[in-house]
Amino acid sequence: MTDTSAMDVTSERAFRRVMGSLATGVTVVTAPGGDGPRGMTCSSLTSVCLRPATLAVCLRTASSTLTAALRHGRFAVNLLHGGAERTARVFSTDVPDRFALVGWKLSGTGLPLLTEDACAYAECAVVRAVEIGDHTMVFGAVDDSGVLPGTPLVYARRTYRSWDALPPSHDRPEGDR
């Protein structure tokens, strides 16, 4: 197919526009740091396999969140609910103490979990990290997770939206679905 209006996806700007057209869930990846918790907004999350339950996130290689996750060997993924756009923006900036601006607690395993802005979470042990360009894909074995009330926050074309068409979920046993 020849289309002279098609973008050249080899340029960074064009590639950003193409990938920005994919609607994704919005997460904040968190990890314990030596001088306090670390966290960053991440829209690059995927499930890898069910047995063992494994997911992957892509984090900026230069981020302190990645450094903390690799040093500690654990990280948490907080899936944001539709009312958490402010939190997504806070964790995507260089605000010095992001955690002072949100509700959070330490889990039983010492991971920072967002208490007011998440509709689901997963606590993970790092099983592998692969650096590609300016990002590192971190694979995490999920050892605890939960679903909370609320509908997911999604991001596409530089805009946040609540996915209100999706019914709120409640943590139910597998057989009840």
User: Could you read off the pLDDT of 124-155 as tens digits, one per residue?
Assistant: 999 999 999 999 999 999 999 999 988 899 88
Distance CA 45, CA 170 (A): 21
Please report whether residue 81 resides in a domain.
yes
* Residue linked to tokens 């960074």: 12
How many Cα atoms sit within 13 Å of 9 on the Cβ side? Answer: 7
Distance CA 135, CA 117 (A): 25
| Total domains present in the chain | 1
Please report whether residue 1 resides in a domain.
no
Please report whether residue 102 resides in a domain.
yes
Please report whether residue 99 resides in a domain.
yes
- List, in sequence order, the alpha helices (H) in the chain: 12-20, 64-72, 85-90
Average pLDDT value over all residues in the chain: 86
152, 161 Cβ separation under 8 angstroms: no
Lowest mean pLDDT among 32-36, 86-90, 101-105, 163-167: 163-167
Please report whether residue 152 resides in a domain.
yes
Which residues, at least 6 apart from 7, have a Cβ–Cβ distance to it below 8 Å?
Answer: 14, 17, 18
Please report whether residue 139 resides in a domain.
yes
Q: For residue 56, what are the domain limits?
A: 19-162
Residue 107 sits in a domain whose CATH number is 2.30.110.10
Average pLDDT over residues 154-165: 74
Average pLDDT over residues 33-45: 92
Confidence band of 15 (pLDDT split at 50, 70, 90): low
Burial level of 29, CB count in 10 A (0-12/13-18/19+)?
buried
Please report whether residue 55 resides in a domain.
yes
